Chains A and B, each alone.
Chain A
Amino acid sequence: MLTRFLLLGLDKRAGVLLTVLAVLAVAVPVMALAVPPDSPFHLPMHSVSLLGKYLSFALLALALDLVWGYCGILSLGHAAFFTLGGYAMGMYLMRQIGPRGVYGHPELPDFMVFLNWKELPWYWQGFDQFWFAALMVLAVPGLLAFAFGWFAFRSRVTGVYLSIITQAMTFALLLAFFRNDMGFGGNNGLTDFKEILGYDIQAPATRVGLFVATVAALAAGYMVASSLVASKLGKVLVAVRDAESRVRFLGYSVERYKLFVWTLSACMAGVAGALYVPQVGIINPSEFAPAASIEAVIWVAVGGRGTLAGAVLGAVLVNYGKTYFTAALPELWLFALGGLFVLVTLFLPKGILGLAADRFRKREPAAAVPAAASKGA
């Protein structure tokens, strides 16, 4: 049954995307590790991590598109789930440092030592085990999303009200994690990681490994998401997006469907965050900033809301643009980026993929959002 479910999502577009990912998974390791550094085909290590970062953002965009593009829940706080997943991974990596911190304390991370903490707080227990941390990567964002969604969807908080309280949620988390008393390193967050699963985190092979893991996670996420939206459940979600109360009168418990996809999406975002942290080497509260969540929404919009491949494309493109512009036009890049958002919304209301779809008159499987119906906010 699972195979049938997964095959559901394999349409042509998925084929292209998965092929690209497969090629990346093979080409990047070869170009980074096997090709000699003076060859034009050599891929420097920093590009590997950079690509890995884009792809983990792509997974976040995918998660966001699932709730927003397909179910009409505009989350302005999805970075919260991403960051929580990241913190869970960061806590594992912190514990792996062991006595190699600057104070040489066998157990406590440096920041706890210099704040005079005497022992590890209870919520740091267990994170020295990878399996536990991996579980928490899913469980913490998942549980928060479940609790949040349980209340919000039951009370039928919708539209802009929901968007704003998701923002309040991530803002509250931002402030909370800034507090040094929370025991998550305050503003500095968690950093200076040494190794993951026993491998040196800075070794080229580890970096490539992390990259391949990210590709695999994105591919898996994409498979799950596209199967989901192709299933009857996916049709219900789109129906909820377009006419919520009609779905209720058909006997579907809208809350449960929303809660399901919301929690699933939060878990995906958590995984994305967990893959992001070892590749960029730091996790800190500013990732909770509402601006980060809004940016994620923008990736999806640029790529094309309601098309999963569009979310992936948008995340990669916007982030590549950011990398490029911050180095090429350090004083002007905000004009370029801001201008891009304005122009995309004005001239590409359906995003890049939407435009492509219109161009080639390809029929969209029940997903693309017509402008008139996009009452997502």
Chain B
Amino acid sequence: MLKTTRTLAAAAGLAMLAASVFAPAVARAQDTIKVGILHSLSGTMAISETTLKDVMLMLIEEQNKKGGVLGKKLEPVVVDPASNWPLFAEKARELLSKDKVAAVFGCWTSVSRKSVLPVFEELNGILFYPVQYEGEESSRNVFYTGAAPNQQAIPAVDYLLANEKVERWVLAGTDYVYPRTTNKILEAYLKGKGVKAEDIMVNYTPFGHSDWQSIVSDIKKFGSAGKKTAVVSTINGDANVPFYKELGNQGVKAQDIPVVAFSVGEEELAGVDTKPLLGHLAAWNYFQSVDTPENADFIKKWQAFTKNPKRVTNDPMEAHVIGFNMWVKAVEKAGTVASDAVIDSLIGVTVPNLSGGYSAMMPNHHISKPVLIGEVQENGQFEIVSQTPGLVVGDEWSDFLPDSKSLISDWRAPMSCGNFNTATGKCGGKGS
């Protein structure tokens, strides 16, 4: 009997101990404003996301030099969600409820954003998402500083139609949501422009696909039908290097079959010998080669911060720069870091971007940006060959998909809705 009691007591103690480990530390005096950084530092996505963590640290350091925000210093809270999607949700929850961060800058892949979305909505946090994505989403708690399909894919296709007179299209992508959606939109768009179904070839490959021999040879075959052919690539990060190496080796020249990519930037090209890739294209809202004083200044600071004079910059970094500056401005406007106030004051905030203009946060939580088309140069940089004359506003609900055609998003009162249906006049999607 005694033994049982002792066992019970021991077990109870253990359980209490276990539970207390999870209880938050007693809250300290709030003399700083915490900013969460939720980027993978290990696993498959570390390759892209680590840079974004660094750029955030730089921005925060700089802001602190300028005196912080609302008279308080900013304190970065870095966690590693390790390219593990459920871990993203867990870490987001930790940042919001344990560390009580004022805003989170993070995520790269769509799935990580999808994973944290309910957490941000539940705990009313603020997430700045810096990467180009498929659209079809608008959340009150998320600010999308990367490109929506209309800020990247459609202008790129327009460029190819107008300047390269492309008639046949290969839509090659990694099999996940972003390429699928983008290609759906592009297919609808191209068909609207009179391209026949047999002149569009769609191809999906798994993540990290490394043997591109057959596919590149198929592309060559498809491209030798006598009509000008181009490849629109939504191939994901890791698979790009072997893809471009194979393109180079099989002699697919940009003059014959140009490849325009939406996920290949300066960072990705840093791992490839670009000589055979001369002239292949990419569409972004920013290139390192943008020739403005703001950009030169940013590059200088970045290379000094990373102590690497060759370190490149890229589009998602600029998105974080814009997002961070917007947040700072909105917090100052609202005079508080409280989520609701900041969320409301963010809309309409305008900050300079690095390509010489001003980007504004729109009511749909997407921003306005210029669209640039660049050609790969020998030095791994992009030569900008086209730039939209004005800014393009991110369109979260594509006009080219039947189910999202009539949806809009406007987070201002009184509508305050992420999926307002203009046909039925109701919030909540298509309605039944």
Contact = CB atoms under 8 A, between A and B. Distances in A.
A187 B111 contact: yes
Contacts of A186: 175-177, 180
Interface stretch (B153-161, B210-218, B385-393, B396-404): B396-404
Contacts of B204: 179-180
Contacts of B26: 40
A7 to B, nearest CB: 16
A282 B428 contact: no
Interface stretch (B73-81, B281-289, B371-379): B73-81
A178 B177 CA distance: 10
Contact of B16 (A27, A49, A111): A27
Contact of B97 (A44, A99, A320): A44
B239 to A, nearest CB: 13
Interface string A7-40: 0000010011001101110011001000000001
Contacts of B67: none
B338 interface: no
A235 interface: no
A16 B7 contact: yes
A327 B12 CA distance: 28
Contact of B429 (A43, A104, A111, A284): A104
A277 B24 CA distance: 24
A27 B403 CA distance: 48
A178 B176 contact: yes
A40 B418 contact: no
A117 B117 CA distance: 24
Interface residues of B, number: 69
A49 B181 CA distance: 33
B409 to A, nearest CB: 10
Interface string A172-207: 000100111000001111011100000000100000
A114 interface: yes
Interface in B375-432: 401-404, 407, 418-419, 421, 428-432
Nearest to A187: B176
Given A103-B430, A326-B87, A27 B23 contact: no
A26 to B, nearest CB: 9
B11 A20 contact: yes
B19 A115 contact: no
Contacts of A20: 11, 14-15
B94 A116 contact: no
B329 interface: no
B429 A99 contact: yes
A202 to B, nearest CB: 5
A334 interface: yes
Interface residues of A, number: 63
Nearest to A191: B114
Contact of B117 (A40, A99, A104, A192): A192
B260 interface: no
A189 B112 CA distance: 11
B97 A45 contact: yes
Contacts of B19: 24, 27-28, 31, 43, 47, 51
Nearest to A35: B23
A41 B93 CA distance: 20
B335 interface: no
B111 A188 contact: yes
A66 to B, nearest CB: 23
A185 B404 CA distance: 18
A327 B36 CA distance: 11
Most chain-A CB neighbours within 10 Å: which of B18, B119, B175? Answer: B18
A44 B118 CA distance: 18
A27 B20 CA distance: 11
Nearest to B110: A188
A193 B118 contact: yes
Nearest to B13: A23
A159 interface: no
Contacts of A51: 18-19, 22
A100 B427 CA distance: 10
Interface string B94-116: 10011000000000011100110
A334 B50 CA distance: 15
A290 to B, nearest CB: 13
Contacts of A286: 84-85, 111
A331 interface: yes
B404 A180 contact: no
Contacts of B60: none
19 contacts: A20-B14, A24-B18, A40-B20, A43-B19, A46-B93, A47-B22, A51-B19, A105-B430, A115-B184, A180-B176, A187-B175, A188-B177, A192-B117, A280-B86, A281-B119, A326-B79, A326-B91, A331-B80, A333-B42
Interface of B: 4, 7-8, 10-12, 14-16, 18-24, 26, 41-42, 78-82, 84-87, 89-91, 93-94, 97-98, 109-111, 114-115, 117-119, 122, 136-138, 175-177, 180-181, 184, 204, 206-207, 401-404, 407, 418-419, 421, 428-432
